[in-house]
Amino acid sequence: MKPWAQQQMPPSSESDSMQDLVLVSQLLGSQPDLVLHGGGNTSFKGSVRDVFGQERDALFIKGSGISLATIDTDGFAVTDLDMVRQLLTLEDLSDFQMVNELRRALLDVSGPNPSLETILHAFIPHRFVIHTHADAFLAASDTEDGDALLRELFGDAAILVDYRRPGLPLALACVEAWNSQANEQTTVLFLKHHGVFTFGDSAEIAYGRMADVVGELEKKIASSVLDGGADLAGAVVKLPDPDPTEFARFRAEVSDAAGQPMIMTRLAGAEIAGFVSRENLKALTGQGPATPDHVIRTKARPLVGRDVAGFVSEYKDYFDTHSAKQDTRLVMLDPAPRVVLDSEWGLLGIGENYAAAKISSDIYCQTIGTINGAEALGGFRPLGIESQFEIEYWALEQAKLTLAEPARGLTGQIAIVTGAASGIGRACAQALLDDGAAVCGIDLSADVASTFDHPTWLGVQANVTDREQMRSAIAQTVERFGGIDIVVIAAGIFGQSAPIADLPVEDWRKVLSINVDSVFEFFQDLHPVLAVSPVSASVVMIASKNVPAPGKGAAAYSTSKAALVQLSRVAALEWADDGIRINMVHPDAVFDTGLWTPELLAERAQKYGLSIDEYKRRNLLSTEVKAASVGALVLDMCGPGFVATTGSQVPIDGGSDRVI
């Protein structure tokens, strides 16, 4: 039995029903083999007191699109139970009419929109109802003899309902099935190719029934595997590491098909490695997803192999064929794949941002388990392709995708920032993350791994002078996100401050090694990946005011930064043919970095006879230059405002008469 099924629910009472509902929801939501990324729903029937002091029967149900894993009390819609049940007296109700009526039924209009399965929850004559998309059930249902198998396991305790998309038709089909199949032993309702509904007069009972049902299905699959029902894993192998340039070039092809830069993330564990080695992979997966509900995230089929153009052509044919049968005119979605299965690369999830790419990969990772289970039970046979198309182009499912935050400027783009754990590098990484980019931060400090608690942050500890470590960082970035579009070089050291006559040669060489030589090597390894970026790739070099206006005692630093600028100018000339922009910024007196301690600031201010605040503003504009200011400028240079600019050098120093 799975750990979630061993968790004991407390007895329910009227006063703690909502707490019970939250607990059971979170327990179920934490299990990807039960619900995934917003799937499933839960409810209980209770009462609320209105402004007139009257008790109103109410249905408390999960809000549409809200994840069970993280739901709290404010994630449930409170609806007028009688009003919702009255909808069952109608013979017809359009999808948008249903959404409107469910919204009108809200007793708390500040709450979320009710689940699309609210009418069904209202009908089921039990106080608590829980619904999952259990993989084990989908495996059983997605077989030739799924009905017989479910009857064999659950007998008259189960109600079986043919697949319907959520809404009034589903609720009416369940009413008809309930009236003809329900009896005193009824504990579960199966909506074929979709999910499991269990119920009871307490959360504990409904939860226990779900655990029992899923447990029985999992045991059946396990026994079928042991009996030699199928070769589930194929030849289990370890997949090779992808070539970063080849991987990034493939992402560019996908992005071109999608009409925007896409994120592409890779999974390549043992189960996936075995699955993609199947000889019948294309035929097996070409039948469709485990449930039509996944189609808006994965499309009806994955791309098997790397023929993006072929997939696009097939998708257009699929759209033309099925849209011609619709009563209304449909606009084709972008034809790019959302899931790729490749014998060397494994499973790739693709999306317009990292969250969407991860959802695609997570869902198909679970789908692999479902397909394996169905194969063990006699053969994977999902619902027909017409049903997949109906859901993919169903207006209410498309509306779920619009609930995400609007895309920010760099959404879909991927950046590498060196020196990202602190100071200017950290500020640049922050600005890029805030504008929607996925970012790999590289730093010598181990703290880089946790510099940001952000799903699109990858922190890699590496020494910029160690070429193999930096190559590994490039490879990790490409494998996690798909490619590289933006590079910010912020790592560097100032070195010892001393006159040329007194500067140890080893210090001179160390500064040049870190500030120049490492960048030269990094450029060599980055160029092939940047050259295949689906956007106008951008490199921003953090140089220094010491380039146009050097100072005494900083020979190594000033020389290294000047050499770095010259290297960048040459790269701007050479890489322009590949559409790669290279620009430079010259910061000065950025005091909110680790270089400037309070003691050093006080010492320098005293030397000039100024207060610390006056010293920080010792420039023509009398303004303090902060790391965030540099980050904002770097962000601008990576965006559309600099799309026609390369080789530029921009000071950010508050204005220096020596530079001007």
Largest CA distance in the chain: 98
Ranges of beta strands (E only) in 192-268 are: 195-200, 263-267
Domain boundaries, the chain: 3-226, 244-401, 414-590+625-652
User: Three-state secondary structure along 74-113?
Assistant: HHEEEEEHHHHHHHHHCCCCCHHHHHHHHHHCECCCCCCC
Q: What is the pLDDT of residue 228?
A: 54
Asked if 631 contacts 427 with a C-beta cutoff of 8 angstroms, the reply is yes
Topology (CATH level 3) of domain 3-226: L-fuculose-1-phosphate Aldolase (3.40.225)
CA distances from 261 to 264, 544, 632 (A): 10, 32, 22
Can you read off the two tokens belonging to residue 7? 């968790």
Report the alpha-carbon distance of residue 582 to residue 517 in Å, rounded: 18
- Rg for the chain, CA atoms, rounded: 30
Residue 86: exposed, middle, or buried by beta-carbon count in 10 A (0-12, 13-18, 19+)? middle
CA dist 20 and 204 (Å) reads 8
Beta carbons of 339 and 302 less than 8 angstroms apart: yes
The yes-or-no answer to whether 244-401 and 414-590+625-652 have a common fold is no
pLDDT score of 230: 47
Separation CA 502–CA 111 (nearest Å): 71
Residue 48 in tokens: 């609320």
- At 599, which helix (H) or strand (E)? helix 598-607
Structure tokens at 238: 């370890």
CA distance 29 to 546: 56
pTM: 0.91
CB 76 within 8 A of CB 60: yes
Secondary structure (DSSP) of 121-176: HHHSSSSEEEEE--HHHHHHHSSTTHHHHHHHHHGGGEEEE----TTHHHHHHHHH
pLDDT confidence of residue 361? 97
Which positions of the chain have pLDDT values less than 50?
1, 3-4, 10, 12-14, 229-230
Specify the CATH number for 244-401; select among 3.40.50.970, 3.40.225.10, 3.40.50.10320, 3.40.50.880: 3.40.225.10
Q: Checking phi first, is residue 288 left (phi over 0); if not, alpha (psi -120 to 50) or beta?
A: left
CATH match for 414-590+625-652 among 3.40.50.12660, 3.30.450.40, 3.40.50.261, 3.40.50.720:
3.40.50.720
List active site positions: 557
What pLDDT does 7 receive? Answer: 53
pLDDT on residue 4: 47
φ, ψ (nearest 5 deg) of residue 62: -55, 140
| Structure-token match 């951008």, residue found | 538
pLDDT score for 397: 62
